[in-house]
Structures are given as structure tokens and as C-alpha cells.
Chain A
Amino acid sequence: MSSLSTSTLASTPVIGRKKRDVAYLLSLGFLLIVVAAALLAPWVAPYAANAVDFTAIWQAPGAGHLLGTDQVGQDLFSRLIHGARESLLGPLALLALATLFGVTIGTVAAWNGGWLDVLLARITDVMFAFPGLLFVVLVIAVFGKGPATAIVALALAYAPVIAKFTRSLALAEMARPYVDAYRVQGVGGFLLCVRYIIPNLTPPLLGYLVVLFGEGLMSLATLSFLGFGAQPPSSEWGLMVQEGQSGIIQGHIWPTLVPGAAIAAVVVAVNVVGVRLSDRLNSRFER
């Protein structure tokens, strides 16, 4: 009964929730459209990604070219859609890799404690103190540039962050008596972690990963912008920003603005959805 009253008290006021509902639905709708466009790029895009047209360079958005053209007359809207695949799959791959490492390390550290835990704490401390981008550039300097290296390098940078988050969640989870109950039944450490503890961490972890997805998208775009990630003739969004840059000085802002806005819009939408998603999952799984 007391839990009833506290939970109702803690819930957000009705008006605030409605506003958030609208933001959530708009964001979700936007993301679905972006994903659909990425999947259907060859059919949806009016032009090929690299269709050069020197008769129509530096065009502003208009009827022929929905979002304008760049310095060699490539249609920005089409490039955006074609580039969406790489721009979205990149952070996805990066997160998958980082999650695999991070969740494994974090759970093992929480379960075993001892020197492993200390080691993890030291590594994460170093990673936090060391600028992530610098680390990534270092890895790229050793292994060469390209999208795959950029993804692996960023995954290595993100893994400790996820590991630390997982560790704190796992520690709280392991303090719950049901974990002792499984041990008393004779369930071993490995099975206990994989079958029971990690699934119970999923709701909060998923919300966090969605937010990290936005961050990953930005980081990958940044690397491409710097020339370390995607390489021409790709139309990855970060690379598009970089290529469009040369026009700014002459007053042609569209080739930079369009991919830049796309990145920002996706990141914001992903964050809105992520926060809402984790709220929902958490409330469903709590108690």
C-alpha cells in the first residue's frame, strides 16, 4: 500500500508527461523514417550517390534537387540517404563490439572482485583521464585509417565506460537475495551471470546504450570529418560535412549544413527515445 502511494507520488505531473509523449512520438517517427530511407536507399533516392552533374553545382534547395547540390553537382538529398546506411550501421557495429567487451568485463569484475576488479578500475581511470579521441587517433596511427579501424578503435574506447556502468549495475544486482537463492540451488557462477544476472541488467543497460549510440554516431562522424574514418567516395555524413566545408568560404552553406543537421537531428531523436525507453523498461522490470 505504501509502495502504491510513493510510486504514484513519484510519477511525473500529467502535463509534463504529455509534452514528453509528443517529443517521444515525433522522435520515434523520425528515426523510423531515417531507418526506412537507409534500407530503401536505392529505390528512394532520386539520384545515385555519386551522380556528378557539372551543370548544376552549388545549388540551393529547390525543385530539382530537394536539398541542393555540392561542388560537383551531386544531389545532397540522395547522398544523405545513401550515406545513412554507413552512418547508422557504423555506430551499431561499434556498440555491439563495445558492449560485448564491456558487459563481459564489467560482469566478471563485479562477480570476481579482487585483482580483476582493481585492474578494471585502473584501466577505466586511465581511459577517463586520457582524451578518448586522442586514444582513437593513436590506434588509427598504428593500424591505418579506414572505417573498420575507426569502429574498432572507438569500441575499445567505449568498452571501459560500458564495463564500469555494467559493473555498478551488476554489483547492485548481485546484492539481491535471489542471487544467493540461485547459488544455494547449486547454480554456478558462469551460468548465474549469463542466464540470470545479465538479463536482469538489460533494461537499464539498453537505455544507456541507446544514448551511447548517439554519442558513437557523433564520434564516428568526427573521425570521418578528420579523414580517419570513412573514405571517399563514401557519402558518410561526417565525410559529407568535411567535403562541403570548402564551399562555406564562398557562401555555399548547404553541403555542410544538410549532413550536419542530419547528424544532430538523429542524435537528439535517439536520446529522446533512449531516455523514454529506459524509463519504460525499468518500470516494467522493477519489483
Chain B
Amino acid sequence: MSEYVLEVDGLQKAFRVGAGEVVACNNVSFTIPPGGSMGLVGESGSGKSTIARMLVGLETPDAGTIHVRGRQLGLQERGRAARLRRAKEIQMVFQDPYGSLDRRLTVAQCLDQAMRLHGVSGSARVAALLDQVGLLAKHGDSKPHQLSGGQRQRVAIARCLAIEPSVMVLDEAVSALDVSVQAQILALLNEIRASSGIALLFVSHDLAVVSEVTDDVLVMYRGSILEQGPTGRVLNAPESSYTKLLISSMPGPGWDPADVLERRAAFEAKVGV
């Protein structure tokens, strides 16, 4: 057994765009310890979502390896058994609470189907899952359109938990929610991590959100990791000039959009974009 739940090594991915190529992920390596929580931050186009999608098998890496609990995942799963094995290791919560649930199924059906796919069943388990994510038993009979954004995201989390994965990837999972709902979901995630030991990979463009739920953080820019370390250290005393730029670009006291643009131009001149 490895000392890490998730080990990503030398992950590489490029997309063809027209005649050229865009490197979405350039030699990315990181590890998450059991029960750990890693943040992955960057702007749109930084490659953070591509990494999330490669981890759950929605994209195929060009190169690199992914190990969960010391066992290597295939770059691309073939066959039912391999697919299910991967699903059992890593699950994902998507950004869009409105689109990531099948509108035809009730919450209970949704959870039940996820479990049955992996060979477990029982309405008692559905009730326990609902309770675990802070939903009431009556929500089991609701269809997605009858729920609020926060409730839907709780369902999406319950759907992950139903499969009992080792790692949960959250791709901008709270970005579409109001701040108070956001705070509740973040608290729920912290609780789940503490009680189940599931490791979290928290992908977000929002540094403040990441600072609330992660131990460590990776800062990505154009497919590469520019800085990594304990979240508190990286966000409070950033070393990379890009991290500094990101932090100072966030609206806050004394924030001025014109300054942000000036600093951005200076940064881009320096890295030679």
C-alpha cells in the first residue's frame, strides 16, 4: 500500500486546435495523502479542468501515470469491469448543479442506480446517503427541477458517496452557488472528509473558496504548475509572481480594475506571452 491515495506523475495532454496545438497539461505531478484535500487553482484555459477530466477518465492523457492507492489506472478503460473499477476509485462532482443530474430520475432513483451499478442496493442506504449530505428523506422523491442549486449539489455529492470512492474530484462544484449555500456545501465537504477519509481534489478559480477546504494547493498557468505548497503558505506568502498576481487581482479593499490590468500586462511581458 502506498502512502498516498492519489499519485499523479508526468501527466501530459495537448489538444489540436486548427493547425496548431494547445498544451493543456504539461508534465503535471502531484500527490494527495489519505484524507487529504488538494486545491487546483488557475484561470480558464489553465488546464485545471482537463486534469480533473483525465483523472476520472473523461479525457485520455497523452502520457503520464495515475495511481490510486498504489494501483495504476489505465489511460483509457476498455470493458465494463475496468470502467467500474476506475469509477470505484475516483468520482467527480460537476460545476453545473442544473445539468449534472438526469432530469428524468428522482433523487432516490439516481442514487439507487449508481449503487446498483456497483452491486449494492437497498433503500436504507439511500436514506443514509440523503442524511449524510444533509437532505431529508422526502427529497428522495423529488426530481432535480424541484430542488434548489445547493440541494442538487448535495445530491451530486451523495451520488459520489454512493459509490464509496477513494478520491472525489470537485470541478468548480460550488462556483454557481450563493455564498451562504456555498459555505454550507464547503462545511459538508469538510465533514465528509473528516468522517470518511475520502481525499478531495478541489478544482476552482476561486482562491478564497479553495482556502477554506484544502490543505495544499497547486497553482496552474497555461498547463503547468507554477507553485505548490500548503494552502496557507501559498495564499498568504506566495512565491510565484503569478500567484501574487492572481491574489492581487481579486476584488477587495482598494481594488482598482485598471491596476489589475497593468500588473497583468507587466506579468505577461515578463513571461513573454
The answer to whether A and B touch in the complex, with CB atoms under 8 Å apart, is yes
Q: Which residues of A contact B (CB under 8 A)?
A: 176-178, 180-188, 196, 199-200, 285-287
Say which residue of B58, B83, B159 sits within 8 Å of A186 (CB atoms). Answer: B83
The answer on a CB contact under 8 Å between B58 and A183 is yes
The answer on a CB contact under 8 Å between B159 and A181 is yes
Say which residue of A183, A186, A199 sits within 8 Å of B118 (CB atoms). Answer: A186
The answer on a CB contact under 8 Å between B92 and A287 is no
How close is A187's CB to chain B, nearest CB, in angstroms? Answer: 7
The answer on a CB contact under 8 Å between B156 and A181 is yes
The answer on a CB contact under 8 Å between B80 and A188 is yes
A287 to B100: give the CA distance in the assembly, Å: 11
The answer on a CB contact under 8 Å between A186 and B84 is yes
Interface string of B190-217 (1 = CB under 8 A from A): 0000000000000000000000000000
Contacts of A199 in B (CB 8 A): 104
B163 CB within 8 Å of chain A: yes
The answer on a CB contact under 8 Å between A178 and B101 is yes
The answer on a CB contact under 8 Å between A181 and B100 is yes
> A185-B163, A186-B87, A186-B117 known; A178 and B58 CB under 8 Å?
no
The answer on a CB contact under 8 Å between A185 and B96 is no
The answer on a CB contact under 8 Å between A177 and B94 is yes
B145 CB within 8 Å of chain A: yes
Contacts of B159 in A (CB 8 A): 181, 185
Q: Which residue of A lies closest to B77 (CB)?
A: A186
Can you list 21 pairs linking A and B with CB atoms under 8 Å apart?
A177-B99, A177-B100, A180-B92, A181-B94, A181-B156, A181-B159, A182-B102, A184-B87, A185-B91, A185-B114, A185-B118, A186-B83, A186-B86, A186-B88, A186-B117, A187-B117, A200-B102, A200-B104, A285-B103, A286-B103, A287-B103
The answer on a CB contact under 8 Å between A183 and B57 is yes
> A184-B57, A185-B163 known; A178 and B80 CB under 8 Å?
no
A183 to B84: give the CA distance in the assembly, Å: 10
Contacts of B102 in A (CB 8 A): 178, 182, 196, 200
B225 CB within 8 Å of chain A: no
The answer on a CB contact under 8 Å between B83 and A178 is no
Interface string of B65-99 (1 = CB under 8 A from A): 00000000000000010011111101110111011
A180 to B95: give the CA distance in the assembly, Å: 12
A-facing residues in B42-59 (Cβ within 8 Å): 56-58
Contacts of B84 in A (CB 8 A): 186
Q: Which residues of B contact A (CB under 8 A)?
A: 56-58, 80, 83-88, 90-92, 94-96, 98-104, 114, 117-118, 144-145, 156, 159, 163
How close is A264's CB to chain B, nearest CB, in angstroms? Answer: 37
Say which residue of A178, A182, A196, A285 sits within 8 Å of B99 (CB atoms). Answer: A178
The answer on a CB contact under 8 Å between A188 and B83 is yes
The answer on a CB contact under 8 Å between A184 and B98 is no
The answer on a CB contact under 8 Å between B117 and A178 is no
Contacts of A176 in B (CB 8 A): 99
A186 to B79: give the CA distance in the assembly, Å: 10
How close is A190's CB to chain B, nearest CB, in angstroms? Answer: 10
The answer on a CB contact under 8 Å between B94 and A185 is no
A178 to B105: give the CA distance in the assembly, Å: 11
Say which residue of B56, B96, B104, B144 sits within 8 Å of A184 (CB atoms). Answer: B56
How close is A64's CB to chain B, nearest CB, in angstroms? Answer: 55
The answer on a CB contact under 8 Å between B92 and A200 is no
A187 to B118: give the CA distance in the assembly, Å: 10
Say which residue of A178, A184, A286, A287 sits within 8 Å of B91 (CB atoms). Answer: A184
A47 to B80: give the CA distance in the assembly, Å: 62
How close is B102's CB to chain A, nearest CB, in angstroms? Answer: 5
How close is B91's CB to chain A, nearest CB, in angstroms? Answer: 6
A178 to B80: give the CA distance in the assembly, Å: 19
A286 to B98: give the CA distance in the assembly, Å: 11
Q: Which residue of A lies closest to B87 (CB)?
A: A186
A83 to B72: give the CA distance in the assembly, Å: 67
5 nearest CB pairs, A to B: A186-B87, A186-B84, A177-B100, A186-B83, A177-B99
Residue in A178, A183, A185 whose Cβ sees the most chain B Cβ within 10 Å: A185
A181 to B98: give the CA distance in the assembly, Å: 12
Say which residue of A181, A196, A285 sits within 8 Å of B92 (CB atoms). Answer: A181
The answer on a CB contact under 8 Å between A180 and B58 is yes
Known: A184-B58, A287-B145; 4 extra A-B contacts, CB below 8 A, are: A177-B94, A181-B101, A186-B88, A287-B98
How close is B167's CB to chain A, nearest CB, in angstroms? Answer: 12
A182 to B160: give the CA distance in the assembly, Å: 11
Contacts of A196 in B (CB 8 A): 102, 104
